[in-house]
């Protein structure tokens, strides 16, 4: 430890800490913008400038280590003026259209401008960008890079490299023509973007964002000829509250459903229900592979970011991928067939909307084979963020909503369905069912080895006298490492869960953005995951095959897992 003072007060801090870390740990505020712990630590915005006694120039707190006897000033007039000037410079290249910005009430940049009373309307934007580089959409129309809001902090470039392991984003051109995007002359798609959205989660402004579908949803909600059916993903309830000021890790399931009612939707479904259904289809596929000797390992197929990564970077492993559609797409297919039939609706009059913690889900809904007779099974996907914006725009007082729960048959779930949204949850849910079928007796509920935020989790379970090796992998970077190892390892894995985002869907690219400071302060992934495990514990039924409505669906409609009908509706093919 070393002894320092900050603004005249003495502190004893770890010698390996930067000034920014030491100050944050001791509740001293230093502004920051480009710094994102473990992701981007380059000191290029100079917003964290501080004064060190005896040194001539101000130093960036994020990159300067503390040392014995250091006296630091974080907020005198010189520091204040410098930080103000650095912020003001950044405003020159930012297009202020806050009223229509996806980050209107969650913008780290705008917060700083307010804090420092920046008063500058001077913008050099015009003529700065070549038309085609200014506003950038991917081919699927799910992601936008708007350079007019980019302040070139570099957080997204580093997030793509370190979290997705892909390096899709670069700084292109030089000087005041610099912009962030896929390498020159490439589209996002052919640059290999998987739509994990880690870049969006890193962006302190609204430069990177999802393509907003709120307007489309608002329109269908006003169309008297349409029946609007909404499904909500497991992870949404674990993070939506953050957009309304609740602490990270608050379960808002009841208010979430009530908000949907207040919006006037016709029917509410729960993706947790089709998560249970997925376990029966995927579990049966696994048992079939066990009986017929593979191909092993079998890979889960519900995370579209992961499926994108596999198709684009490791197509040789496609035979390992389960043929199951994701729970989102299973729900969509059931809404437009089984539910439509039961209610006597023409499927073309139903608008199926899903609320997802993910932007890759928007592209998944548009994949080939995700519908029939000329309609899509899922018409619109709103991210958790868009859902929160819609609720706010409608003036719904979220915090004062009563709790409610939908009772439709496609809305009942077991604990196993609920934990799908956390890394390891799909595997644990599968093990709860598969072990019981193989052992032909009641088996344990908890598979604790599958939980937690470690990049790669492995375990061996003995089922029916046979050793089954399973693994859980999350995040693009860990996924690439695991697959590279899989090419050469002697170890025989049988079943592997992959999720495109670290932490699984609870940390998806469509969840409320957590400020850099909060990302450093809280274990966001663990807090959100704990919401799902608590929901699981509360359920009377915690194994997917116990879900009475899943059983009923098989009896009345699908017959049995992997029947002809379930193949038609619940399974898919992959691009080679
Ligand atoms: Fe997920 Fe899903 S668990 S991918 O993370 O499997 O997005 O939450 O909805 O579909 O259920 C996301 C979350 C889902 C699907 C489910 C799976
Ligand atoms: Fe990179 Fe993921 Fe962003 Fe695509 S969505 S640019 S892969 S971080």
Residues 230 and 203 in one domain: no
Residue 144, helix vs strand vs coil: strand
* 498 located within any domain: yes
List, for residues 68-109, the tens digit of each pLDDT value. Answer: 999 999 999 899 989 999 998 898 888 888 888 999 889 999
Which of 165-169's residues contact partners 24+ apart within 8 Å by CB, and which partners? 165/475, 165/476, 165/477, 165/478, 165/479, 165/480, 165/481, 166/192, 166/193, 166/194, 166/309, 166/476, 168/192, 168/193, 169/199
Name residue 60's beta-bridge partners: 49
Tell me how far apart the alpha carbons of residues 382 and 359 are, in angstroms, rounded to a whole number. Answer: 8
* 575 located within any domain: no
Residues 195 and 257 in one domain: no
Structural domains of the chain, count: 3
pLDDT of residue 29: 95
pLDDT over 70 at 121, yes or no: no
Q: Quick one: which ligand is closest to 331's CA?
A: 1
pLDDT of residue 544: 98
Least confident window among 134-148, 245-259, 514-528: 134-148
Query: Residue 9: what are its φ and ψ, rounded to 5°?
Result: -100, 140
Residues 291 and 368 in one domain: yes
Q: Which of 63, 91, 119 is a domain's end point? A: 91
* 107 located within any domain: no
Residue 255, domain extent = 216-570
* 245 located within any domain: yes
Ligand 1: which of 194, 210, 270, 275 to mutate, most ligand atoms within 8 Å of CB?
Answer: 275
Model-level pTM?
0.91
pLDDT of residue 148: 86
Mean pLDDT, residues 411-416 taken together: 97
Distance 164 CA to ligand 2 centre (A): 7
Residues 181 and 271 in one domain: no
pLDDT of residue 444: 94
CATH code of the domain covering residue 207: 3.30.70.20
Ligand 2: which of 196, 208, 211, 383 to mutate, most ligand atoms within 8 Å of CB?
Answer: 196
Residues 328 and 371 in one domain: yes
Residues 484 and 555 in one domain: yes
Residue pair 329/456 in contact by the 8 Å Cβ criterion: no
CATH code of the domain covering residue 536: 3.40.50.1780
List, for residues 12-46, the tens digit of each pLDDT value. Answer: 999 999 999 999 999 999 999 999 999 999 999 99
* 253 located within any domain: yes
State if residue 406 touches ligand 1 by the CB under 6 angstroms criterion: no
Residues 154 and 246 in one domain: no
Residue 275, helix vs strand vs coil: helix
pLDDT over 90 at 253, yes or no: yes
* 121 located within any domain: no
Residues 338 and 487 in one domain: yes
Q: In what order do the strands lie in the sheet with 9-13?
A: 9-13, 2-6, 71-73, 49-52, 59-60
Burial 304-331 (b: 16+ CB within 10 A, else e): bbbbbbbbebbeebeebbbebbbbbbbb
pLDDT of residue 377: 98
Mean pLDDT, residues 267-287 taken together: 98
Mean pLDDT, residues 458-477 taken together: 96
* 82 located within any domain: yes
**Strand 298-299 and strand 267-270: pairing?**
unpaired
Residue pair 123/178 in contact by the 8 Å Cβ criterion: no
Burial 565-576 (b: 16+ CB within 10 A, else e): ebeebbbbeeee
pLDDT of residue 175: 82
List, for residues 504-544, the tens digit of each pLDDT value. Answer: 999 999 999 999 999 999 999 999 999 999 999 999 999 99
CATH code of the domain covering residue 75: 3.10.20.740
pLDDT of residue 120: 63
């Amino acid at each position: 430890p070393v002894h320092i003072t900050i603004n005249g007060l003495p502190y004893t801090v770890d010698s390996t800490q930067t000034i920014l870390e030491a100050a944050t740990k001791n509740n001293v505020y230093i502004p920051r913008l480009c710094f994102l712990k473990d992701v981007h630590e380059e000191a290029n915005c100079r917003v964290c400038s501080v004064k060190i006694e005896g040194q001539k120039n101000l130093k960036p707190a994020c990159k300067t280590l503390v040392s014995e006897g250091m006296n630091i000033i974080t907020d005198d007039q010189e520091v204040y003026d410098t930080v103000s000037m650095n912020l003001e410079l950044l405003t020159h290249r930012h297009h202020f259209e806050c009223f229509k910005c996806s980050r209107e009430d969650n913008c780290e940049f705008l917060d700083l401008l307010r804090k420092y009373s920046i008063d500058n309307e001077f913008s050099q934007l015009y003529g700065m960008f070549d038309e085609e580089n200014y506003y950038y959409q991917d081919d699927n129309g799910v992601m936008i890079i708007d350079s007019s809001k980019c302040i070139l902090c570099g957080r997204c470039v580093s997030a793509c490299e370190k979290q997705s392991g892909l390096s899709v984003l670069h700084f292109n051109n030089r000087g005041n023509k610099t912009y962030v995007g896929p390498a020159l002359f490439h589209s996002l798609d052919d640059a290999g973007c998987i739509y994990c959205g880690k870049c969006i989660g890193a962006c302190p402004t609204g430069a990177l964002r999802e393509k907003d579908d709120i307007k489309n949803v608002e329109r269908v909600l006003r169309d008297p000829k349409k029946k609007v059916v909404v499904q909500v993903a497991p992870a949404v309830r674990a993070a939506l509250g953050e957009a309304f000021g609740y602490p990270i890790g608050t379960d808002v399931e009841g208010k979430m459903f009530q908000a949907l009612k207040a919006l006037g939707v016709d029917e509410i479904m729960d993706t947790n229900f089709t998560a249970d259904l997925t376990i029966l289809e995927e579990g049966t596929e696994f048992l079939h592979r066990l009986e017929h000797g593979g191909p092993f390992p079998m890979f889960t197929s519900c995370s579209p970011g992961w499926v994108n990564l596999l198709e684009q970077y490791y197509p040789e492993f496609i035979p390992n991928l389960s043929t199951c559609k994701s729970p989102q797409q299973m729900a969509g297919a059931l809404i437009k067939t089984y539910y439509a039939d039961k209610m006597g609706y023409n499927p073309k009059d139903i608008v199926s909307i899903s609320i997802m913690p993910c932007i890759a889900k928007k592209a998944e809904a548009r994949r080939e084979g995700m519908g029939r007779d000329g309609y899509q099974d899922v018409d619109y996907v709103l991210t958790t963020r868009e859902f929160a914006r819609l609720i706010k725009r409608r003036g719904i007082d979220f915090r004062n909503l009563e709790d409610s729960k939908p009772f439709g048959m496609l809305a009942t779930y077991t604990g196993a369905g609920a934990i799908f949204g956390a890394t390891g949850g799909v595997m644990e849910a599968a093990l709860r069912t598969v072990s019981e079928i193989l052992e032909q007796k009641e088996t344990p509920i908890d598979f604790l080895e599958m939980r937690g935020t470690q990049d790669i989790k492995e375990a061996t379970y003995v089922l029916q006298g046979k050793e089954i090796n399973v693994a859980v992998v999350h995040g693009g970077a860990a996924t690439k490492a695991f697959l590279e190892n899989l090419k050469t390892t002697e170890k025989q894995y049988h079943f592997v869960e992959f999720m495109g985002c670290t932490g699984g869907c609870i940390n998806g690219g469509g969840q409320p953005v957590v400020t850099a400071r909060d990302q450093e302060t809280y274990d966001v992934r663990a807090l959100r995951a704990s919401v799902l495990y608590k929901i699981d514990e509360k359920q009377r039924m915690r194994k997917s095959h116990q879900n009475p409505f899943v059983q009923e669906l098989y009896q009345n409609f699908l017959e049995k897992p992997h029947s002809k009908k379930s193949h038609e509706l619940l399974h898919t093919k992959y691009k080679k």
